């Protein structure tokens, strides 16, 4: 089985989707000849021509508006927004258009073919505008699906599923892992399910939930906890919308403890949604308060990034507090 | 007034042709028929020295980035005349709202090398408190709005700022810089339309440098550049040779008159070329030919201005050499100082989110401090701010 980094896995998924279906069209800023600023679309223009893989003018609202129209026509657009921090000019198109196309037309029209790919997250000394995790703005939008892969294998399978999904998907790529995360990825076509979490490690004492780049951080914290004899169950949510409450609830019914971690600020973050649902469904089984280990309620910093980040030590401390409650 | 035609007539804009205003040829000679602007010796020297200083700062800092001393850098190489020429035509107290490649404007207004370095290294003296990536400068005293990475957001803000200046009635205007790529954003169109509708003293200065990262202007727009868009907003417009500091100066000087004396916005499109990479994270060899770069190198705006000054006897080879040496030394010395300075205070992590720190944020910060007291080695910057012992010398990890 070949080894790929996350960018190669994404590129490979796009290649497979474009080869299989000539309706699949990739575009965005610098996506053409250059292959994107992170090179996720390398060689796609060469292979499939300028009509199916191209640079757009520098206008995010235009990119997504164009993508909505293209999807409504029956094509399968895969639009790239260069950084998730720059998705906001397209917010109107995504929230008011993409998400509501099917509903408002009584299913006469839909943009289900649309996938929006965008790199998110910190840890790259990117400061305010190259580090944000904007998932919670979008998880508050019925009609969208929100998917976040944690490694190259997941990225390929989830991206192929997103492109073929009958609903529009916002596919958030953890850019800190683009080259750092390397693993075995089958060369052939495969899909991973949207809307299903994955239990990546079983344990009996406490449940840890995260997604994307945060899974690596949770993994490090779990190593520290296991050294102290704490058996952790680790769940990668993979899809935030819809999210797999059943898998999380089932785990918490077993462990009685839950920690959710994300880089985005605490207040209004998606961890709050998970905590609310779990306390509703597991109230009498909880052994300690559900804890959230997240970024601070500030814009994303630069020099003090390390202090800001919900790192493995902060998660480890939260685990200890939870089990010693 | 509506006029009617009784045969269908489609227009494309090709009916108009847009000449490029230029005064100096690449040899620093005035073109025939060109009128030398009223630019006194000292003013001309200040303009040139700022261009030269910008070039040297850019060269040194890019080298520093390559050595790993700096996380990120952006050069303005090739566009110094456009930026400094425009700034020199303003009143020093006019507002500038730039994109991110306009360090020349600050250089002209007297931002010190120390001030540049403090921002680049995000130390305790950085006005932005170490919160933004390198090159996101700002200066209240020099009337230079702090840079924001998202493109084109400053353009409608400039319209609003200038509207306030008009109401204040002190005869000031705002000049906003942006690239030809950023002009594709919706914000650009909103800004121009509102400025025209509300008769605002704002100058929209487009640096058309040929590329938005890898995307050539031929894939950015189908029209003849940015300038013709002004017609759609009934706005004054001029296209200027962006590598000709004199022409940029004169075009902007007159634009300022239109803006301030008649409360009318003006669009200026300066034709230039981004000689360097987009940023230290970019490599142009993947999308453009070396020969194209070489052709533009021959049109170097600094050489052109220098030749003109030398011919006028307003500058000398000796001054050139000594200024370059002095600047290089100053950049290196100040860099060493800036690198050694402490990071911004720890509470800068939570200040300025709001005018006052919210109770919830204070709670989060107190929790963070308790955590750092438990693991001081893992957070050397935070730990030092809390006067905790840290047995490590590396605190610069994580730089991209």
Q: What is the pLDDT, as a whole number, of residue B393?
A: 52
Q: What is the pLDDT, as a whole number, of residue B17?
A: 86
Q: Where are the alpha helices (DSSP H) in B146-297?
A: 154-168, 186-197, 229-232, 245-262, 290-297
To test the contact with chain B by mutation, choose from A46, A125, A131, A304 the residue with the greatest count of B C-beta atoms within 10 A, namely A304
Q: Where are the alpha helices (DSSP H) in chain B?
A: 41-66, 80-88, 103-109, 113-120, 154-168, 186-197, 229-232, 245-262, 290-297, 301-312, 317-340, 359-374, 380-385
- Each residue's pLDDT tens digit, B272-284: 999 999 999 999 9
CA pair distance A227, A108, nearest whole angstrom: 57
CA of A64 to nearest chain B CA: how many angstroms apart?
13
Mean pLDDT of B331-337: 97
B114-120: list long-range contacts, CB under 8 Å, 24+ apart: B114/B334, B114/B337, B114/B338, B115/B139, B116/B57, B116/B334, B117/B334, B117/B335, B117/B337, B117/B338, B118/B338, B118/B341, B120/B61, B120/B70, B120/B73, B120/B338
Domain ranges in chain B? 20-340, 346-385
CA of B66 to nearest chain A CA: how many angstroms apart?
16
Q: Do A128 and B399 touch (CB under 8 A)?
A: no
pLDDT over 70 (residue B398): no
To test the contact with chain A by mutation, choose from B349, B369, B399 the residue with the greatest count of A C-beta atoms within 10 A, namely B349
pLDDT over 70 (residue B211): yes
CA of A306 to nearest chain B CA: how many angstroms apart?
7
- Each residue's pLDDT tens digit, B112-164: 999 999 999 999 999 999 999 999 999 999 999 999 999 999 999 999 999 99
Tokens (6 digits) for B313: 């006897």
Of A217, A214, A285, A221, nearest in space to A248 by CA: A285
Least confident of A141-150, B7-16, B308-317: B7-16
Mean pLDDT of B27-46: 96
pLDDT over 70 (residue B334): yes
pLDDT over 80 (residue B392): no
pLDDT over 90 (residue B389): no
Decide which of 3.40.50.970, 3.30.70.660, 1.10.10.60, 3.40.50.300 is the CATH code for B20-340: 3.40.50.970
Planar angle of CA B303, B305, B310, nearest 5 degrees: 90
Enumerate residue ranges in chain A where pLDDT < 70. none
H or E stretch covering B267? strand B266-271
User: Tokens 């080869």 belong to which residue?
Assistant: A19
CB contacts of B122 in chain A (<8 Å) are 302-303
Tokens (6 digits) for A223: 């190593």
Average pLDDT, chain B: 95
In chain A, what is the greatest distance between 2 CA atoms, to the nearest angstrom? 60
ipTM of the prediction:
0.95
Specify whether A130 is catalytic.
yes
Between B51 and B398, the more confident residue is B51
Q: Tell me the percentage of chain B whose pLDDT exceeds 90.
A: 93
Of B139, B152, B158, B151, nearest in space to B97 by CA: B158
CA of B72 to nearest chain A CA: how many angstroms apart?
9
CB contacts of A125 in chain B (<8 Å) are 71-72, 133, 398-400
Specify whether A97 is catalytic.
no
To test the contact with chain B by mutation, choose from A58, A60, A294, A299 the residue with the greatest count of B C-beta atoms within 10 A, namely A58
**What confidence tier does B388 reach under pLDDT thresholds 50, 70, 90?**
confident
Domains of chain A with CATH codes: 3-184 (3.40.50.970), 198-323 (3.40.50.920)
pLDDT over 50 (residue B69): yes
User: At B215, phi and psi to the nearest 5?
Assistant: -85, 115
Q: Do A58 and B184 touch (CB under 8 A)?
A: yes
3-state helix, strand, coil in chain A (%, to 5): 40, 20, 40
Q: Do A123 and B378 touch (CB under 8 A)?
A: no
CA pair distance A128, B165, nearest whole angstrom: 29
Mean pLDDT of B79-87: 98
């Amino acid at each position: 089985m070949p080894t790929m980094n996350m960018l190669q896995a994404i590129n490979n998924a796009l290649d497979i989707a474009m080869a299989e279906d000539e309706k699949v069209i990739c575009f965005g800023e610098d996506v053409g000849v250059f292959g994107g600023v992170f090179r996720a679309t390398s060689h796609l223009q060469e292979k499939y021509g300028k009509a199916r893989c191209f640079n757009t003018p520098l206008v995010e609202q235009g990119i997504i508006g164009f993508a909505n129209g293209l999807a409504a026509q029956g094509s399968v657009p895969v639009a790239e927004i260069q950084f998730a921090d720059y998705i906001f000019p397209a917010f109107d198109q995504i929230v008011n258009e993409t998400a509501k196309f099917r509903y408002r037309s009584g299913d006469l029209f839909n943009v289900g073919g649309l996938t929006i790919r965008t790199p998110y997250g910190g840890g790259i000394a990117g400061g305010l505008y190259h580090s944000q995790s904007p998932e919670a703005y979008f998880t508050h939008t019925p009609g969208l699906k929100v998917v976040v892969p944690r490694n190259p294998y997941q990225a390929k399978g989830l991206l192929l599923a997103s492109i073929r999904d009958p609903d529009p998907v916002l596919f958030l790529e953890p850019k800190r892992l683009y080259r750092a995360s390397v693993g075995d990825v089958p060369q052939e076509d495969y899909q991973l399910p949207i809307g299903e979490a994955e239990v990546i490690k079983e344990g009996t004492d406490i449940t840890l939930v995260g997604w994307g780049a945060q899974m690596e951080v949770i993994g490090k914290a779990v190593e520290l906890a296991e050294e102290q004899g704490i058996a952790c169950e680790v769940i990668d949510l993979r899809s935030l919308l819809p999210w797999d409450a059943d898998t999380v609830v089932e785990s918490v019914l077993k462990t009685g403890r839950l920690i959710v971690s994300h880089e985005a600020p605490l207040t209004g973050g998606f961890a709050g949604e998970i905590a609310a649902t779990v306390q509703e469904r597991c109230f009498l089984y909880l052994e300690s308060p559900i804890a959230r280990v997240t970024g601070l309620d500030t814009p994303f910093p630069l020099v003090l990034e390390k202090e800001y980040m919900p790192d493995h030590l902060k998660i480890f401390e939260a685990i200890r507090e939870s089990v010693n409650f | 007034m509506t006029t009617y035609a009784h045969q269908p007539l489609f227009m494309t804009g090709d009916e108009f042709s847009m000449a490029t205003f230029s005064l100096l040829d690449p040899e620093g000679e005035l073109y025939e028929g060109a009128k030398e602007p009223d630019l006194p010796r000292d003013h001309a020297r200040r303009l040139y020295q700022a261009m030269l200083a910008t070039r040297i700062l850019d060269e040194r800092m890019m080298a520093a980035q390559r050595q790993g001393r700096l996380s990120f850098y952006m050069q303005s190489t090739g566009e110094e005349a456009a930026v400094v020429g425009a700034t020199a035509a303003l009143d020093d107290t006019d507002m500038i709202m730039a994109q991110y490649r306009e360090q020349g404007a600050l250089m002209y207004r007297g931002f010190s090398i120390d001030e540049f370095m403090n921002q680049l290294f995000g130390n305790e003296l950085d006005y932005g408190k170490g919160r933004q990536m390198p090159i996101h400068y700002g200066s209240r005293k020099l009337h230079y709005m702090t840079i924001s990475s998202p493109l084109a957001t400053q353009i409608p803000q400039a319209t609003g700022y200038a509207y306030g200046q008009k109401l204040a009635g002190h005869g000031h205007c705002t000049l906003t810089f942006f690239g030809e790529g950023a002009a594709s954003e919706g914000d650009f169109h909103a800004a121009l339309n509102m400025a025209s509708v509300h008769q605002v003293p704002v100058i929209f200065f487009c640096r058309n440098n040929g590329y938005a990262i890898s995307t050539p202007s031929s894939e950015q727009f189908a029209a003849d550049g940015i300038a013709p868009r002004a017609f759609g907003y009934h706005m004054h417009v001029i296209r200027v040779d962006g590598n000709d500091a004199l022409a940029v100066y004169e075009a902007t000087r007159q634009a300022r008159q239109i803006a301030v004396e008649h409360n009318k916005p003006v669009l200026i499109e300066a034709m230039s070329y981004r000689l360097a990479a987009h940023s230290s994270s970019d490599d142009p060899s993947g999308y453009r030919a070396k020969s194209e770069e070489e052709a533009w190198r021959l049109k170097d705006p600094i050489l052109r201005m220098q030749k003109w000054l030398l011919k006028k006897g307003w500058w000398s080879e000796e001054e050139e050499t000594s200024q370059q040496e002095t600047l290089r030394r100053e950049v290196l010395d100040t860099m060493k100082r800036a690198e050694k300075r402490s990071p911004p205070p720890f509470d800068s992590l939570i200040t300025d989110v709001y005018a006052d720190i919210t109770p919830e944020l204070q709670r989060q910060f107190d929790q963070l401090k308790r955590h750092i007291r438990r693991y001081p080695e893992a957070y050397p910057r935070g730990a030092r701010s809390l006067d905790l012992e840290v047995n490590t010398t590396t605190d610069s990890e994580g730089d991209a």
